[in-house]
Amino acid sequence: MTHDLRIDRRTGSALVGHLIEITPGLDKFYVEQRVSSLLSSTRDFGNGYQWLYLKGLSFGAQPCGLGLCFSNGNLCEISWSVQLPNAPMEGGWPTRAAIDQEIEFVRRELEQQLGCRLELACFQWGQVWSGFDENGFLASNGIRYSIPSGA
């Protein structure tokens, strides 16, 4: 069973099926409990930043993985990647053409969910992006939340 990932245009919250609404500043322990069945791995950088990685999701009806970034225990960023069918691969890795297809797909889906062109998207709740990460040679898709100080 996959859970659909949707972004709420009003709040920037990530809706993971009917399991959880992941909101900016949400507590890591609470999220971990709610998504335990989807948890594929975790990473603690030892500097206050921790990531939870989820599997079993779809974005725009395509399989996706989701990363949740927590700063000092509070959600500050999400990122995801999509696996498109028949994406060209070389040596087990996506080609630049496959990466460009993913970016185009994610941008189209985000524009539909957010109701605006991504290039013009400016939200009080944060910054949305989808583009090519030259250093990692991959598609980079995500939201960095604007967390009020004291949260």
The full set of domain ranges for the chain reads: 3-145
The whole-angstrom separation of Cα 72 and Cα 59 is: 28
Summarised one tens digit per residue, pLDDT across range 64-115 is 999 999 999 999 999 999 999 989 999 989 999 999 999 999 999 999 999 8
pTM: 0.92
Summarised one tens digit per residue, pLDDT across range 131-151 is 999 999 999 999 999 876 555
Report whether pLDDT(52) > 80.
Answer: yes
Summarised one tens digit per residue, pLDDT across range 5-27 is 999 999 999 999 999 999 999 99
Alpha-carbon distances, residue 128 vs 12, 26, 95, 97, 107 (angstroms) = 9, 18, 24, 22, 10
pLDDT, position 63:
97
Report whether pLDDT(117) > 90.
Answer: no
